[in-house]
Structure 1
Amino acid sequence: MTLRLRTARLEDRDALIELQRRASLANPEDREAILAHPDAIDIPPGQFEAGNVLVAELDGAAVGFAALFIRPDRQAELDGLFVEPRHWKAGIGRTLVRAAEERAREHGADSLHVIGHPNANGFYSHVGFAALGEIPTRFGPGRRFVRDLTER
């Protein structure tokens, strides 16, 4: 099985939202909040239209995605990074982060920001993000991370 990355299309949206739901519900401490606020699971159509959603596929099936928001101030936000739970720890998240970094650079961004879930703090540190501190989110505290895109 070979991992293939491509730019997601708007017609992928429903399948990727369901992937996001499965990945979110796989974190037991988030389950109740996600079920109480199903509207939290979404990928705005504009991100697809801008070409800023990347999907990872194995044998033609989506197994993960990264969604970017490009800001006008040379900054980019990793607005979503989700991998099918059965494929966690297989390098798909890391591959998507690297592709998102490259896409952000193509848009002129010199840094990539993300608000990480507490379960993902180690992951973001491992792939080169620097922690900037905690930030309140709708579902509890998150940690803000930044990755300098001017270094390779």
Structure 2
Amino acid sequence: MIEENSARPARPDEQPALEGILRRASLAAPDYREQLLAHPEVLALPVEQIEAGRVFVSELDRKPAGFCVLVPASTDELELEGLFVDPPFWGQGIGRLLVCRAAAIAAGMGARRMSVIAGHEARGFYEKCGFTVTGETRTQFAPALIMHLMLDAAVGSNE
């Protein structure tokens, strides 16, 4: 079982392991597998994001099981730029834990909301985490949803 406080800042030496999680999680979902295999350069986690303190890791048995990436979107908004859970650990609450941790970090930094650009297949997950659809966009591979989470409500509901 995972404890709520188990998401911590990533370390630069973990970058290869985290990229492995990113690749496995991305390729396990069939929707974009072919495009991702044709463009492996998009399956990267720049060490600069880790060094900037933007990457947060959740562990199981002292090994990374998932991570998220938070980046500034505007003066009062942070974007959940990436959320990846190693496929053997899907369905164990790690993704939700990482969203909750990211929301708490964003609120602590003074952000009023958190955004995510999500594929249509992830809509249900993010809605269960409190996000609402606020628009549509297009990613490199497909149409996507723009979703937002108001942090005052999200942080208050998890206390």
Query: Please, what TM-score do these two structures have when normalized by structure 2?
Result: 0.90
Aligned partner of residue 47 in structure 1, secondary structure: helix
Residues 80, 102 of structure 2: 8 Å contact kept: yes
| AA matched with 1:85 | P
| Whole-angstrom distance in 2 between the partners of 1:111 and 1:2 | 25
1:43 aligns with 45
The Cα of 1:73 is off from its aligned counterpart by 1.3
Residues 54, 66 of structure 1: 8 Å contact kept: yes
Matched, 1:133 2:114: no
1:18 aligns with 20
| Whole-angstrom distance in 2 between the partners of 1:95 and 1:2 | 8
Structure (1 or 2) with the greater helix fraction: 2
| AA matched with 1:120 | A
The Cα of 1:106 is off from its aligned counterpart by 1.8
Provide structure 1 residue ranges, at least 5 long, that are not aligned to the other structure.
none
Residues 66, 84 of structure 2: 8 Å contact kept: yes
Residues 70, 107 of structure 1: 8 Å contact kept: no
Matched, 1:142 2:137: no
Q: Percent identity?
A: 42
The Cα of 1:29 is off from its aligned counterpart by 2.2
- Stretches (4+) displaced over 4 A: none
1:121 aligns with 123
1:54 aligns with 56
Residues 134, 142 of structure 1: 8 Å contact kept: yes
**Number of residue pairs matched by the alignment:** 152
Change (3 A) 1:141 1:89: same
Residue-by-residue CA offset, 1:37-86 (whole Å, 9 max, x unaligned): 11111223332122121101101111100110024511100010010112
Residue-by-residue CA offset, 1:73-132 (whole Å, 9 max, x unaligned): 111000100101121111110000000011111221111000012221100001100101
1:73 aligns with 75
| AA matched with 1:83 | V
The Cα of 1:2 is off from its aligned counterpart by 4.4
Q: Could you say what the CA RMSD is over the residues aligned between the two structures, in angstroms?
A: 1.3
| Whole-angstrom distance in 2 between the partners of 1:148 and 1:48 | 25
2:109 aligns with 107
